[in-house]
Every structure is written in structure tokens, then in C-alpha cells.
Amino acid sequence: EAGVAQSPRYKIIEKRQSVAFWCNPISGHATLYWYQQILGQGPKLLIQFQNNGVVDDSQLPKDRFSAERLKGVDSTLKIQPAKLEDSAVYLCASSVGGGQLFAEQYFGPGTRLTVT
Amino acid sequence: GENVEQHPSTLSVQEGDSAVIKCTYSDSASNYFPWYKQELGKRPQLIIDIRSNVGEKKDQRIAVTLNKTAKHFSLHITETQPEDSAVYFCAARLSGSARQLTFGSGTQLTVLP
């Protein structure tokens, strides 16, 4: 089966600019996650969707980050305006969701963001 | 929320030796503990997981043990090979409907030939 797709793979922007990342989960996966992975750290959950509804966005810096998952499939994550500390790899993951209590999360290749 | 601590941050072993990575978690309501392997520049991939109703699980050279009383779990890799070199992350998930994972900070494992 095709994996989780993300684009772009790399992005370099200046601080205060805007950027958007795109994720296409595995077909049929109801749950989609966005993680931020700062160099040398584990992934940190930013937001979780179940279909097109938000399940958890408690760690999303809502003053600058936004995310949407229209039609319950693809998702976009936006940062506006970017700060230096936003430099990280942004990982998208998906899982079957629904009633699967221990469903594996499959990760995409990530987008490496550098803010200068 | 859940907090996961992982040790050591770096680990070097000789090829053929065993490697052990340990994690502790804070919330006794956590019920699922996966381990991910992340090679340089690549995506994290699940290598083994354990549920809270099991004390140990093994898959070929990889095993995970769970001590619910002490709230810690460990990854054991036997007969290490150079291709085992990577960053390993543990994670814990609280029971409940949201199913978020909280990750540890990672262990850089280097297997020396």
C-alpha cells in the first residue's frame, strides 16, 4: 500500500514569512496527526484529526499555527508568521482510527523547515 | 498529561553485543507502549509495541519488557548488527479515545563493527 505522502520535503523561509505543508494519509485512515520534531528530540504532537474533526490541538500554538483537514482526507498545516524556533521537521502520521484501540501510526517522510 | 523519559541518550555497542534502552512514564493510565526506529533523514518506523496487559513481547532479536508497578519499559536488542544503528524512540499512550502518543527524547544507538 502507498505510504503517507508529504510535501514539500524541504523549505527555507525567513522569519515572519508564512509557510504551508501538505499531507496525504494512507487511504482509508481516519486519524491524522501532525508532529513537530526539533533536532535531537522526539516528535511532539501538534494536532490530531479524526476524519475532519479536531480531537486534540492542545499543543498547537494557535496564534501562529493552523491546520485543517477538509473532506477528512488531505491535511494542511500552516505557520504564519514563522519564528526561528519553528525550525524543525514536521511529520504527518495516520492510523486506521475508529474502533482500533491499538492502531499503528504510520509516518510520512516529513518536511524539514529552516527559518532564517 | 503523560511524560516519558528515555535513557541513555547515546549508546555504543560492539557488533554482536546486546543493547538496552529504558523509558519511564508518569501516568499509570497509559496502556500502550510502542518503540520506533528512525534512521538518519528517514521517517520513524514502528519496530515493536506492547500493551499494558502483557509483561514481555519478543520479535526475533528485539524484545520489550514492561513493569507497570514501576512504570517503566525497556527495549532489548540482542546480537546487534551495524544496520541496527539509528535513533530509537519510546512512546506511551494514555487509555481513552484520543490515543495520542507521547514520545521520549530518543537514543542514538551506534553498533561498531
CA atoms within 13 A on the CB side of B95: 8
pLDDT given for residue A52 in this prediction: 86
| B106 in reach of chain A (CB within 8 A) | yes
Which of B32, B43, B64 has the highest number of chain A CBs within 10 A, making it the mutation to test binding with A? B43
Helix (H, G, I), strand (E, B) or coil at B61: coil
CA distance B108 to B98: 29
Q: Least CB-CB distance to B106: which of A41, A91, A101? A: A41
Residue from A21, A26, A38 nearest A76 by CA: A21
CA distance B51 to A104: 12
The mean pLDDT of B56-84, rounded to a whole number, is 96
Answer whether residue A18 shows pLDDT above 70: yes
Cβ proximity of B23 and B70 under 8 Å: no
Strands A10-13 and A111-115, by their bridges, are parallel
Contact list in A for residue B45 (CB cut-off 8 A) is 107
Total H helices, total E strands in chain B:
0, 11
pLDDT given for residue B100 in this prediction: 82
pLDDT in tens, B98-112: 668 899 999 999 999
- Judged by CB atoms within 8 Å, which residues 60-79 of B form the interface with A? none
Contact list in B for residue A110 (CB cut-off 8 A) is 43
Contact list in A for residue B4 (CB cut-off 8 A) is 42
| B43 in reach of chain A (CB within 8 A) | yes
Inspect the interface and report whether the beta carbons of B99 and A101 lie closer than 8 Å.
yes
Q: Which grid cell sits at A6?
A: 508529504
Answer whether residue B97 shows pLDDT above 60: no
Answer whether residue B73 shows pLDDT above 70: yes
Q: Least CB-CB distance to B44: which of A41, A95, A107? A: A107
pLDDT in tens, B14-43: 999 999 999 999 988 898 999 999 999 899
Inspect the interface and report whether the beta carbons of B49 and A102 lie closer than 8 Å.
yes
Inspect the interface and report whether the beta carbons of B104 and A42 lie closer than 8 Å.
yes
Q: How many CB atoms lie within 10 A of CB B70?
A: 8
Inspect the interface and report whether the beta carbons of A42 and B105 lie closer than 8 Å.
yes
**Could you tell me the pLDDT band of residue B4, with boundaries at 50, 70 and 90?**
very high
CA distance A7 to A29: 19
CA distance B15 to B36: 21
DSSP symbol at B79 = S
